[in-house]
Amino acid sequence: MNQENLYLQLKSEIEKAQSIIIFSHVNPDGDTIGSNLALKLIIERQFGKKADSVFIGKLPGVYSYLPAFEQFIDAKNINPEKVYDLAISVDVAAQDRMVYGCPIYDKAKFKVNIDHHQTNIGYGDLNIIEPTACVGVILHKIFKEWNCNIDIEVARCIYTSLLTDTGGFRYENTTPEAFMIASELVEAGVSPSHEFRVCYETKPQNMVQFQAYIVFNTIFYNNGKIAVTKITRSDMSRFNATEDFSEGIVEVLRTCKNVEIAVILKETLEGYTKVSLRSKTVDIIPIVLEFGGGGHKFAAGCTIKKPLAIAYEKLLQRIQSELKCEII
Ligand code: 5GP
Ligand code: MN
């Protein structure tokens, strides 16, 4: 089936549904939050139906400038017995990224999966997966196909999704289409300088200091080709850090000239290790797949069910072997 037919099938599922829920991935970022709210607003304004936007983990306060942000519900607070007519996930690479939201998604009468991760296996009844595009771009195309009015509030949600997913219009997904859509959103009233400020220049002071400290602790291996830093629970308590404080650190490590692969390992509350990997030119998907993770070619992640020190060693060796470096 071509993409336009998939878009129309989604439209008819929304028209049929009496109850709708939209999922973001665990510890959501701007990409999944902006997409989720844009879809919620369109369902409410163009279809006249209610849609519950849900998150899993911690919702970063930085995105509170977005319309309808205060209506986000923790999936924990949804009645686990409730059967929705329609469940839609946005930017959720794998079903386990909905963690405790999974049973609610699974129970829904019809499941849709809108995503851009090439590792997505298509776990929905309807899968709209476009690996080279931002989810914001996919949604904008869908709304256009449905002849929706993209008002300023919807436009701001899509813009945030685009801005954060492209790293401020810098990564490979900064396509002509992304710029064209961004231009339409600006025409609709979005102010790029305002969105940049509220999105990137509103960090709490302790977050900036925490990030500087974690960057300072970076260890460079193999002539600086590999940069690794870690976050322990005690680092977190020292700075009174919340889960979202680690966002953006690994991208700073990648700014070093020689760095090919940058890594951040974070000790989780359960004593496991959450890993974020970034690369300049090497495809890191094979590395994260070995540890049960996923993502994109140059930005991927996984959770290793081992203590930080063990995960660190295993992952570093795997990266060194991928780069054909000496294992040290
Ligand atoms: P981050 O490092 O910012 O958490 O994630 C980078 C990319 O990899 C994102 O697109 C994210 O969805 C994906 N990703 C991160 N962790 C996991 C994981 O454990 N499993 C899967 N399938 N994808 C992940
Ligand atoms: Mn995301």
> Which one of the ligands is nearest to 24 CA?
2
Give the Cα separation of 251 and 218 in Å (integer): 13
DSSP letter for each residue of 191-245: -HHHHHHHHHS---HHHHHHHHHHHHT-EEETTTTEEEEEE-HHHHHHTT--GGG
191 vs 174, 182, 185, 188, CA distance in Å? Answer: 18, 10, 9, 9
Q: What is the pLDDT of residue 89?
A: 98
CA 303–ligand 1 middle distance (angstroms): 9
CB 115 within 8 A of CB 129: yes
Give the Cα separation of 162 and 180 in Å (integer): 11
Q: What is the pLDDT of residue 305?
A: 98
Q: What is the pLDDT of residue 19?
A: 98
Looking from the CA of residue 27, the nearest atom of ligand 1 is 4
Tokens of 291: 């540890």
Band (pLDDT 50/70/90 cuts) for residue 327 is confident
Side-chain half-sphere CA neighbours of 232 within 13 A: 8
CA 199–ligand 2 middle distance (angstroms): 15
3-state secondary structure of 69: helix
Q: What is the pLDDT of residue 2?
A: 84
* Whether pLDDT at 328 is above 90: no
Give the Cα separation of 45 and 54 in Å (integer): 18
Residue 94 in contact with ligand 1 by CB distance below 6 A: yes
* Whether pLDDT at 103 is above 80: yes
Give the Cα separation of 315 and 304 in Å (integer): 9
Q: What is the pLDDT of residues 159-214, one digit of tens each?
A: 999 999 999 999 999 999 999 999 999 999 999 999 999 999 999 999 999 999 99
Give the Cα separation of 166 and 264 in Å (integer): 20
Tokens of 154: 């919807």
Looking from the CA of residue 91, the nearest atom of ligand 1 is 12
CA 300–ligand 1 middle distance (angstroms): 5
Q: What is the pLDDT of residue 93?
A: 97
Residue 319 in contact with ligand 1 by CB distance below 6 A: no
72 vs 22, 55, 68, 69, CA distance in Å? Answer: 10, 7, 7, 6
Residues of the chain with pLDDT > 70, as a percent, come to 100
Q: What is the pLDDT of residues 250-280, one digit of tens each?
A: 999 999 999 999 999 999 999 999 999 999 9
Backbone dihedral angles phi then psi of residue 92, each to the nearest 5 degrees? -110, 100
Work out the widest C-alpha separation in the chain, in whole angstroms.
60
Ligand 1 pocket mutation, candidates 91, 97, 115, 291, criterion most atoms within 8 A of CB: 97
Looking from the CA of residue 276, the nearest atom of ligand 1 is 2
* Whether pLDDT at 311 is above 90: yes
CA 46–ligand 1 middle distance (angstroms): 32
Q: What is the pLDDT of residues 280-303, one digit of tens each?
A: 999 999 999 999 999 999 999 999
Looking from the CA of residue 247, the nearest atom of ligand 1 is 3
Looking from the CA of residue 302, the nearest atom of ligand 1 is 19
Angle among Cα 126, 131, 136 to the nearest 5 degrees reads 80
Q: State the distance between the two ends of the chain, measured CA to CA, in whole angstroms.
A: 50
189 vs 138, 159, 170, 195, CA distance in Å? Answer: 20, 11, 22, 11
Residue 296 in contact with ligand 1 by CB distance below 6 A: yes
Q: What is the pLDDT of residue 39?
A: 98
Angle between helices 3-16 and 135-145 (to 10 degrees): 70
Partners of 279 in beta bridges: 261
From atom 22 of ligand 1, which residue's Cα is the shortest distance away?
294
